[in-house]
Amino acid sequence: MIDSIWTRTARLPRFKRLEGDLKTDVLVIGGGITGLLCAWMLKRAGADCAVVEAGRICGGTTGGTTGKITAQHGLIYRRLLREFGPEAARLYRQAQEAALERYRALCRETGCDFEERDSFVYSLTNHQALEEELEALSRIGAPAVLIREPPLPFPVAGAVQFPRQAQFHPLKFLAAIAKDLPVYEYTRVLAWQPGSVRTERGTIRAEKMIAATHFPFVSNHGAYFLKLYQSRSYVVALENAPDVGGMYVGAEKTGLSLRSAEGLLLLGGGGHRTGKKGGGWQELEDAARRYYPKARTVCRWAAQDCMSLDGIPYVGRYGGNTPGLYAASGFNKWGMTGAMAAAVLLTDLVLGRESLYDGLFDPGRTVLRPQLAVNLLESAVNLLTPTAPRCPHMGCALKYNRQEHSWDCPCHGSRFTEDGKVLDGPANGDKHM
């Protein structure tokens, strides 16, 4: 379980384990933000549904988010415009803005510390990249501006500003959303076949199913082991640090994320591909001493995100031979608006309604992207590495993570405790020693 400021200050409802069999119209597998929003929308639409979660709800990446609700996902729009065209870029922004508006409406009723904040993407040195992003945003009608000197404690080339975005306490929000849902905790799905899944204690039958398991768990369909990799990221919560006034993220891979919450400054960064070396908490502690010498770390945590080949999430039909099964993954570190947009789309698909976003997020779109070669090489190298222990997912050699005292898979991001218990999927069982 992630020990973040959210998990320390929220009371999530508890649910019983499923003992025996169950029949429902729609089964949602996974009790993070995506799965809970799907179930909430389906229930409101009158659908018979249930949620199963292998552990506690929100016990994975959802509990480790920084809680930014924004349509600004790094410098993504210039890339979408270049690679997919203006219509795709416009639809992507529209889906994220619609997600923000849904949060704005729902958070009025949930007491989740919702605050409007401007969002900024800054670059340390690349002013041209900021200009290109601003030009792309202008072409799709987005109200963004270029700020020359944002109030940051280090020099930057500038920042692109999105007005009236938001931040919140994600677990207070989800506690309110989940309390009346039909959820079963500590109910791990072991195997899927059309129309049913097997758990440790029985069988669940459902005509439609949504895999909201972070990394899709049915390994022999959909080629997600090629289309996704996972990335670790780290956060430290600092007291005696100033309120930065907005939400900031660096355009470069080594950039810092900053936002204020609960009277603390959340400083994020130090990220790396799971199973690889990276800056981690040490990088953040060094930055805190450099920029906020009077601050003190009161809490720190880590989470990981699924990264798609092209920067767009995979949301829709799971694969070509998986009738009734749907997936949501690859939010590329922007899981708050991504989860809401996914829940809207999946609810439409499950209920047989048309959606503007079906084609944009289709998991079956082309895999011919440069990142595919990187993923293939990483898998080949680790499959051929003649060392133990091995990952039970596809047999890759695990690497020891000294910062977090875990065994991590560089191929697909599964993680295990030192004594072999699974922490993160797609592995669905303990490691081979």
Torsion of Cα atoms, 178 then 180 then 181 then 182, to 10°: 140
CATH of the domain at 405: 2.102.10.10
Looking at residue 392, what is its pLDDT?
A: 86
What residue has token string 């191929």?
A: 411
Same domain, 342 and 380: no
In a domain, 85, yes or no: no
Mean pLDDT of all residues in the chain?
94
Same domain, 352 and 395: no
pLDDT digits (tens, 9 = 90+) for 380-393: 877 778 777 888 88
Q: Is the dihedral of CA 364, 366, 371, 372 positive or negative?
A: positive
Q: Which residues contact 179 (CB under 8 A, 6 or more apart)?
A: 13
Same domain, 9 and 61: yes
Could you list the beta-strand ranges (E) of 62-108. Answer: 68-69
Supply the angle between the helices 86-106 and 76-84 in degrees, to the nearest 10: 140
In a domain, 235, yes or no: no
pLDDT at 228 over 50: yes
Residue 7, classed as helix, strand or coil, is helix
Q: What is the domain range of residue 412?
A: 370-424
How many CB atoms lie under 10 A from the CB of residue 348?
17
Could you list the beta-strand ranges (E) of 355-430. Answer: 399-401, 406-408, 415-417, 422-424
**From its phi and psi, is residue 384 left (phi > 0), alpha (psi between -120 and 50) or beta?**
alpha
Q: What is the DSSP string of 244-295?
A: -SSEEEESSTT--EEEEETTEEEEEEEEEETTS---HHHHHHHHHHHH-TT-
Kindly tell me the burial class for residue 423, based on how many C-beta atoms sit within 10 Å of its own C-beta (0-12, 13-18, 19 or more). middle
pLDDT at 256 over 50: yes
Residue 300, classed as helix, strand or coil, is strand
Taking a C-beta distance cutoff of 8 angstroms, is the pair 250, 269 a contact? yes
In a domain, 143, yes or no: no
In a domain, 237, yes or no: no
Q: Please give the helix or strand (H or E) that residue 84 lies within, else none.
A: helix 76-84
How many CB atoms lie under 10 A from the CB of residue 374?
13
pLDDT at 166 over 60: yes
pLDDT digits (tens, 9 = 90+) for 2-42: 789 999 999 999 999 999 999 999 999 999 999 999 999 99
Confidence of residue 431 (pLDDT cuts 50, 70, 90): low
pLDDT digits (tens, 9 = 90+) for 197-219: 999 999 999 999 999 999 999 98
Amino acid symbol at 205: R
Confidence of residue 357 (pLDDT cuts 50, 70, 90): very high
Peptide bond into 386 cis (omega under 30): no
Same domain, 406 and 356: no
Question: Could you tell me which of 319, 321, 320 has the C-alpha nearest to residue 329?
Answer: 319
In a domain, 198, yes or no: yes
pLDDT at 1 over 90: no
Q: What is the pTM of this model?
A: 0.95
Mean pLDDT of 285-303: 96
| 116 token code pair | 């409007």
Among 183-187, 278-282, 342-346, 424-428, the range scoring the smallest mean pLDDT is: 424-428
CATH of the domain at 176: 3.50.50.60
Taking a C-beta distance cutoff of 8 angstroms, is the pair 204, 53 a contact? no
Same domain, 58 and 10: yes
Backbone angles phi, psi at 249, to 5 degrees: -145, 140
In a domain, 247, yes or no: no
- How far, in Å, are 7, 107, 133 from residue 169 at the CA level? 10, 10, 29
* Structural domain count of the chain: 2
Confidence of residue 58 (pLDDT cuts 50, 70, 90): very high
In a domain, 142, yes or no: no
In a domain, 9, yes or no: yes
